[in-house]
Amino acid sequence: MPRVIIARHGETKLNVNDSESAERIRGWKDIPLDGEGVRQANALAKKLSEYDVREIYSSPLSRAFDTACAIASACHVGPVHKEASLLPWHLGSLQGELVMTSIPAVAAHIEHENEEVDKGESFATFRERFLSFLKDKCKQAESWAKDDIMVLVCHSRNVQITKAWLAAGCPDDLTIDVPTMNSYDDETGTGSMLVVKV
């Protein structure tokens, strides 16, 4: 069965949540991989080299693209296709803010999905942009050989919204299961991957 794998980029300095710094919203800010992020990207690439990767698409942001290039090198496939549909949710003025203090504002924009974030985009715009692309790529992969894999390298909210769409049963109207969107686990961490079977 053809599969699409959603891969999340490796760590950046704004992903770290330790005694010295707190995690901040990255959004469309082009934050590069840090040393740990490069290690995670290479570990993910090694893991994906066990699959028959046929095509790789990436968000144009460097943290995703550099992760995608590590995967392409390990899987001996290329080129990596940059795709704006794989950008994360543009959170505008919330970008750079602490994640923990921004959770209520983010949740409110998910609930009122047509309201644009200040200097950003609405959740509905993000949902339709990303899930339309994902749905099209899943359909494209249906004609591939059973072991062929497509990899989409993107960001945490792309992984979350994929899980929420899958939990809703992959409806054609791209609606999602909102509680799933708001839950986080190991499948959302930096350098992680999610296998999509539609």
How many domains would you assign to the chain?
Answer: 1
Taking the C-alpha atoms of residue 129 and residue 161, their distance in angstroms, rounded to an integer, is 11
In what order do the strands lie in the sheet containing 193-196?
Answer: 80-82, 52-58, 148-154, 3-8, 193-196
Write down the H helix ranges in the chain.
35-48, 62-75, 99-111, 123-141, 156-167, 178-181
Pairwise pLDDT comparison (5 vs 20), residue with the higher score: 5
Write the CB contacts of 31 (distance below 8 Å, at least 6 apart in sequence). 12, 13, 14, 61, 62, 63
96 lies in which domain range? 3-196
pTM above 0.85? yes
**Which CATH number covers residue 111?**
3.40.50.1240
Q: What does the pLDDT look like over 69-125, one tens digit per residue?
A: 999 999 999 899 999 999 999 999 999 999 889 989 999 999 999 999 999 999 999
18 — pLDDT class (breaks 50, 70, 90): low
Beta bridge partners of 196: 4
Q: Residue 21: what pLDDT?
A: 62
